Amino acid sequence: MWRKLRIIVLLMILVTVLKQTWLDKADLDWNDNFYVVVYPINADGTPEVDRYIKTLTRADFEPIAEYFSDEAKRFGLNMRRPMEVQLGARVERRPPVPPEVASALKTIIWSLKFRYYAWKNSPKVAVTPKIRMYLLYYDPAIHNRLGHSTALSKGRVGYVNLFGSQAYHKKNAVILSHEMLHTLGATDKYDLSTTLPVYPDGYAEPEKSPRYPQDFAELMGGRIPVSDTQAEIPKNLGQTLIGDKTAFEIGWLKSTLKSTGGK
């Protein structure tokens, strides 16, 4: 009896996963645009971050929507606004922290907890979103560095660590845009041990001659390569491009062999 019940439950889970996978792939046909909601969180509870969050408006995230619109045009996507970003209400409860040592089992457990958290902590917005990003803001006067951000393509949710200061607003937009693409299936294109972009997919202009210095960062490569051993963090989205491999992963290119992109 219990064995049959377990089998039925597992089959139901499998069907749900397969259905979600199919729906995720269908979304990447880009017949409709993606509505994204960003939920600000005061991660360290400081009054400074509180004040910063209170200043945020939807207009602060408009450059991200415009960036994706411009990049989509380079790849011939016939859609005026592939991404729309909505500012949701502030969320008080913090999401579960990703595991520091990410074994397969720990990652699976955390992802399930995170998706459950997102289900319970998603204040309504004007248009039901397909992507939910939780922005954990920290006071730069207290934190010199932030932990690694992460996002899931299954469930399309993101855990994004940012500095809660106007001085970091443009850099925050780069990090958020990077994580948004993770929810669409884009992969990192940098060496995790060195943070250097991996050639050629992590380079915005891999065919440039001479190769260095590059003028832009590939968004999923994360940095602007200036030599074989050095790369700079982009200051804003204007210093980044979406490369062919990333465009292929998110459905903007049917093949990486021939691209309508480039700069």
User: What are 15-31's pLDDT values in tens digits?
Assistant: 555 545 544 554 688 99
Alpha helices (runs of H) in the chain, residue ranges in sequence order: 2-27, 47-55, 62-74, 104-120, 169-183, 244-249
| DSSP at 58 | G
Q: How many domains does the chain have?
A: 2
The domain boundary, picked from 123, 152, 183, lies at 183
The domain boundary, picked from 142, 164, 183, lies at 183
| Whether residue 168 is found in the same domain as residue 202 | no
Average pLDDT, the chain: 91
- Asked if residue 231 is part of any domain, the answer here is yes
The domain boundary, picked from 154, 183, 212, lies at 183
Mean pLDDT, range 222-248, rounded to an integer: 98
| Whether residue 164 is found in the same domain as residue 100 | yes
How many residues are recorded in the chain? 263
Quick one: CA dihedral 167, 64, 259, 188, positive or negative?
positive
| pLDDT (0 to 100) of residue 101 | 75
| Whether residue 218 is found in the same domain as residue 108 | no
Range of the domain at 169: 30-183
pLDDT at 181 over 70: yes
| Whether residue 169 is found in the same domain as residue 231 | no
| pLDDT (0 to 100) of residue 260 | 45
| Whether residue 161 is found in the same domain as residue 36 | yes
| pLDDT (0 to 100) of residue 86 | 98
| pLDDT (0 to 100) of residue 5 | 67
pLDDT at 89 over 90: yes
pLDDT at 76 over 90: yes
pLDDT more than 70, % of the chain: 87
Q: Which amino acid is at 175?
A: I
pLDDT in tens, 122-173: 999 999 999 999 999 999 999 999 999 999 999 999 999 999 999 999 999 9
| Whether residue 168 is found in the same domain as residue 49 | yes
The residues with which 137 forms a beta bridge, in sequence order, are 42, 162
